[in-house]
């Protein structure tokens, strides 16, 4: 059946329009968009507030959600944080990972996220033993996304070294297939489905030897699949790459054919001017994860310079210190203000674009992230009458969403024309907080 939605206000990039009717066809796509409709048509589902395209969380490690608050105790660095993360990873099984990811993806739906890019490297049992189904962990994530009602791009990640050719340590054996050829053989068994697409990832230049980078890039290229890579997140990574190869990580990726329009560098924090030119000139995307980058004291990446050079920007919640794409969007702008002591590097529309259309494109969902005819009917509605959002004129809805709203202001999330979150309640996972509590509690040592 065709479904009709009446949107009290809608962000139709770049403007906010009042009274918008969206017709959704049986295949879950937008059949028609009409503006200037003052009252809801008979039988229409009414979405009051500001409706925007569904948000795309372009970089996620679902199991990191179990670290929230635990890693806020005391001090340390990225590297000490990593040891805590490994301890949680060691306890996961396909069943416990499914339970955790289902709850995390439901939390994302409550935050208006309709698609997630899961940077997935936890492949095997402890000590590196393969499960009977070698993709049991990845399949658990795909199933979890379906049950939470969102789309997923499983970015199956090659991770074969603990650092520039060194053997994986005892924690990392779960991540490694031994070689990228073995990784490709396993990853090829994964298949797209209606709500899921399969992409690839290079964990980092530390974790994939230089002479094996091309294998992963070619696998993605032949399939037209997105390829993501952690890039220059830490100065220590840059220094180690210079010592091993005499060049920066970006130059190493460029020399081995990894960069290009289907590739996204995640973080891209500590770059040289040449790195910025290589990334922008090749059309390689940049996924910024400001809440994680600040939580781990990683630094502020040169997002403005990257975009000016031609690198499309997307956003991710990464370690899930919080899950709030509005916070990620405004943090990118506010970080830049602190660094430069000037305001207004991006408009609210540009920041929303990074969180919607450009994020979806980075995940291979080029038919999502817009409220227009033919696009997937994925959208989310933000309250304009909460204590955070009340007061501004509705025509300033984009500014309100980006600079004042939070995930708590999401009222509705629609995926493929189906209500997944209605009036702030998840329709498929009734008690999301309880599911998170149970799933995380099961992982405590």
Residue numbers annotated as active site: 267, 318
Name the β-bridge partners of 22: 5, 33
Strand pairing category for 15-24 and 30-34: antiparallel
Under 8 Å CB-to-CB from 381, ≥6 apart: which residues? 7, 47, 48, 49, 50, 51, 52, 410, 411, 412, 413
What is the per-residue DSSP string for 180-249?
A: HHHHHHHHTT---BTTEEEEEEE--TTTS-HHHHHHHHHHHHHHT--EEEEES-SHHHHHHHHHHHSS-H
Q: Using alpha carbons only, give the angle 144, 146, 149 rounded to the nearest 5 degrees.
A: 110
Residue the block writes with tokens 């105790």: 73
Give me Rg for the CA atoms of the chain: 21
Closest by CA position to 137, among listed 109, 159, 115:
159
| Residue carrying the six token digits 């040449």 | 274
Per residue in 51-77, is it b (16+ CB within 10 Å) or e — as a string?
bbbbbbbbbbbbbbbbbbeebeeeeee
């Amino acid at each position: 059946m065709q479904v009709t939605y009446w949107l009290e206000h809608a962000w139709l990039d770049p403007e906010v329009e009042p009274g918008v009717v969206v017709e959704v066809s049986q295949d879950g796509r937008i059949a028609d968009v009409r503006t200037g409709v003052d009252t809801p048509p008979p039988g229409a589902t009414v979405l009051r507030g500001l409706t925007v395209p569904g948000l795309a969380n372009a970089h996620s490690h679902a199991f990191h959600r179990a670290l929230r608050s635990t890693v806020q105790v005391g001090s340390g660095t990225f590297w000490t944080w990593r040891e805590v993360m490994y301890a949680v990873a060691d306890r996961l099984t396909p069943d416990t990972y499914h339970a955790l990811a289902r709850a995390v993806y439901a939390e994302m739906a409550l935050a208006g996220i309709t698609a997630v890019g899961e940077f997935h490297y936890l492949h095997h049992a402890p000590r590196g033993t393969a499960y009977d189904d070698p993709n049991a962990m990845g399949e658990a994530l795909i199933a979890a996304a379906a049950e939470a009602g969102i789309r997923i791009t499983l970015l199956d990640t090659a991770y074969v070294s603990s650092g520039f050719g060194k053997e994986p340590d005892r924690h990392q054996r779960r991540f490694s297939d031994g070689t990228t050829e073995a990784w490709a053989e396993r990853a090829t068994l994964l298949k797209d489905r209606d709500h899921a697409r399969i992409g690839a990832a290079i964990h980092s230049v530390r974790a994939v030897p230089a002479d094996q980078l091309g294998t992963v890039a070619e696998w993605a290229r032949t399939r037209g699949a997105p390829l993501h890579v952690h890039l220059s997140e830490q100065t220590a990574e840059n220094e180690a790459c210079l010592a091993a190869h005499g060049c920066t990580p970006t130059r190493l990726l460029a020399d081995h054919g990894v960069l290009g329009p289907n590739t996204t560098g995640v973080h891209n924090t500590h770059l040289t001017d040449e790195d910025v030119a290589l990334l922008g000139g090749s059309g390689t995307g940049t996924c910024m994860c400001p809440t994680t980058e600040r939580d781990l004291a990683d630094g502020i990446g040169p997002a403005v310079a990257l975009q000016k050079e031609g690198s499309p920007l997307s956003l991710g919640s990464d370690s899930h210190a919080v899950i709030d794409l509005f916070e990620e969007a405004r943090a990118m702008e506010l970080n830049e203000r602190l660094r430069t002591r000037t305001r207004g590097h991006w408009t609210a529309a540009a920041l929303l674009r990074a969180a919607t259309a450009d994020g979806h494109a980075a995940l291979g969902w080029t038919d999502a992230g817009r409220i227009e005819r033919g696009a997937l009917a994925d959208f989310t509605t933000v309250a304009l009458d909460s204590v955070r959002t009340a007061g501004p004129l509705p025509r300033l809805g984009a500014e309100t969403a980006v600079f004042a709203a939070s995930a708590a202001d999401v009222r509705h999330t629609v995926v493929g024309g189906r209500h997944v979150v209605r009036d702030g309640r998840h329709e498929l996972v009734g008690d999301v907080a309880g599911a998170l509590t149970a799933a995380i509690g099961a992982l405590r040592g």
